[in-house]
Chain A
Amino acid sequence: MQVMRTPRGVDIEITSRCNLRCRYCYYFGNPAVEYRDLPTTEWLRFFDELGRCAVMDVTLQGGEPFIRKDLPQLIEGIISNHMRFSILSNGTLIDDAIASFLADTNRCDSVQVSVDGSGPAIHDACRGKGSFEGAIKGIRTLQRHEVPVAVRVTIHRHNVHDLEAIARLLLDDLRLAEFSTNAAGYLGACRQNANEVMLTTKDRQEAMETLLRLTERYNGRISAQAGPLAEGEIWCKMEEACMKGALPFPHGGSLTACGCHSSKINVRADGVITPCCMLPHMELGRINHASLKDVWQQHPDLHRLRQRHTIPLTAFAFCEDCTYIPYCTGNCPGLAYTITGKVDHPSPDACLRRFLEEGGKLPITGERLEGIKVGRAAKRP
C-alpha cells in the first residue's frame, strides 16, 4: 500500500475539558488516557510542523474546543500555516464573537454540532439540562454568521423513537442541507452506561427502518459512515449478495474497513500522537518531541495497522462458518479493540450474522437503497 509522504489531515483533541458529561461519550472514561491540556505555545509549535509537512486540514475536537479561551489564537496558528479546519462541538459555548471570528477566517470547512433530540426532553436526557437549547442557539448563531454548519445525530435508546421529529427539526425548521448519523458505541463513558443508552437489536432494527424511510423522503439529505443507517445499507447489500451467491466485494473478506491511517493521524489533548481517536491507547510519540513525518512513515505500529487489510476474516474463530465473509470488512478496529482487546480482530458490534442471530431483521433490499449516501466524510462524534 503506497503511503502518503505526510498525513493529509490531522484530528486534534485540542482540549480534554468539556462543559458537558454526555452519558455515551466515547472520549471520557478511558483508563489509557491522561486527561490534561497543553499550553498555547505547544500547539502553535506543532502547527508550524504541520505547515512544514504540507498538511491540508485539521479537525479540532476534544472535549469541547470552544472551552479554550485561546481558541482564536490557535486557529490563527492553523491559518498562518496554510491549513483549513473543522470543529466538532456540542454547540453550547458558541457566541456571536467566536462565530464572527470563524467566518472571517474564510478557512472554516464546518462546525459540527451534536443534536440528539427534537426537543430538550430527549436531547438533555443523555447530555444534560440546557444542552439542547444551547446547541440550537449555537447552530443559529453560526448560521447568522454564515459559518458552515454540520449536525451529527448520535442514535441511542432514548432517541430512537424520535428520529422523524429530529429530521423535521434539522431539515425543515433549521433548514440544514443535510445531517449525519451514528450510534452510541461501546467506548469511553458509554461502557459504564451501556445498558441504559446502547441500542438493543430491536432498537437497531427500528432505527434502520426509520432512517432508510427518512432518507428516501428527504432525498439523500441524511448520511452515515457508521451506525444504523450505514449498517442498513451495507448489511442489505451483503444479504443480497449472499442470497445470490455473488462474487466477493472488492474489499470483502479481510480486515479492510479502516482506511484512516492512510491519510490521517490523531493527536490527544496531552500531545500524544495516536493513529485515530478510536485507538487512544496506541501511543506513537509526542508532538514537538517526535518528528511527525518520521512517526507517519516509520512507526512500526502504524505500519502494522496499514497491513491489517491482509488479514483474512477466515483467520478468526469469531467468523467461523460465516457465509457473509466474502462481503464483510470487519469494521472499526477501535471498536474491535474495546470489545475484544485486539485491534486485529473484526468488530463484534458490527457483525451482521450476530445481529440476525439476536433476532434482528433487515428492513429492505434492492433498488431503494441505491440513493443512500453512505461513507461520506461525516465526522466522528
Chain B
Amino acid sequence: MTVAKEKTKKSVQGKAKKPIGNPTVVLREEFDDWAILFNPDTADAVGTNPVGVAVWKLMDGRRTVNEIVAEIKDQFAEVPDAAAKDVLAFIKDLSQRGFVGYELKG
C-alpha cells in the first residue's frame, strides 16, 4: 500500500472509531462556556472552548468521530470544512494524554 493510501486508510479508521471520555476526568465548565478538562490521576488539565466542551459531551462510546462532527455542525453555526480534521486532532490529543479511550469491538 502506498504511503498516501495508508494515511487515508488511517484517517478513515480514525473517524470510524468511537471515542469515550475517561470517566475519571472532570469537566469544569465556566460562565463563559469555556471549560477545563482535569485528570485527577495525572494532574493534567486541558482548557477547551465551547466546541471542545460539546465534543467532550458527545464522546460516549456510541458515536464515531464522523457522527460527532455531524452533531457539532447541527449545534453550532458556520462550522468550517476543516472541522472534521480539527475534531479528530483534538480527540487524538486527548487520547494521547489519557483523557479519551476508544470502545473495543466484541
Contact = CB atoms under 8 A, between A and B. Distances in A.
A82 to B, nearest CB: 5
A54 interface: yes
A56 B26 CA distance: 8
Contacts of A5: 28-31
Interface string B11-44: 0000000000000111111111000101011010
A4 interface: yes
Contacts of B36: 56
Interface string A79-121: 1001110000000000000000000001101000000000000
B27 A54 contact: yes
Contact of A82 (B26, B32, B45): B26
**Chain A contact residues, majority secondary structure:** loop
B99 to A, nearest CB: 13
A298 interface: no
Given A56-B38, A82-B40, A83-B40, A2 B27 contact: no
A250 to B, nearest CB: 22
B28 A107 contact: no
B26 A2 contact: no
A8 interface: yes
B31 A106 contact: no
B28 A8 contact: yes
Contact of B30 (A4, A84, A106, A109): A4
Contacts of B27: 54
Contacts of B28: 5-6, 8, 54, 56
B24 A82 contact: yes
A3 B43 CA distance: 22
**Interface magnitude class on chain B:** 10 to 19
Contact of A84 (B25, B29, B40): B40
B66 to A, nearest CB: 30
Contacts, number: 35
A203 B69 CA distance: 65
Interface string A24-68: 000000000000000000000000000000101000000000000
Contacts of A3: 31
B22 to A, nearest CB: 10
Which of B25, B38, B40 lies at the interface centre, i.e. has the most chain A CB atoms within 10 A of its CB?
A: B40
A54 B40 contact: no
Contacts of B40: 56, 79, 82-84, 107
B31 A84 contact: no
A3 B31 CA distance: 8
A170 B46 CA distance: 34
Contact of B43 (A8, A79, A84): A84
Nearest to B29: A5
A4 B30 CA distance: 6
Interface string B42-53: 010100000000
Contacts of B24: 82
Contacts of A2: 31-32
A4 B38 CA distance: 15
B29 to A, nearest CB: 7
Interface string A1-33: 011111010000000000000000000000000
A106 B44 CA distance: 13
Contacts of B30: 4-5
B6 to A, nearest CB: 38
Given A2-B32, A56-B38, A84-B43, 18 more contacts: A2-B31, A5-B28, A5-B29, A54-B26, A54-B27, A54-B38, A56-B26, A56-B28, A56-B40, A56-B45, A79-B40, A82-B24, A82-B38, A82-B40, A83-B40, A107-B40, A107-B41, A109-B43
Interface of A: 2-6, 8, 54, 56, 79, 82-84, 106-107, 109
Smallest CB-CB A-B distances: 6 pairs: A54-B28, A82-B26, A82-B40, A84-B40, A54-B26, A56-B38
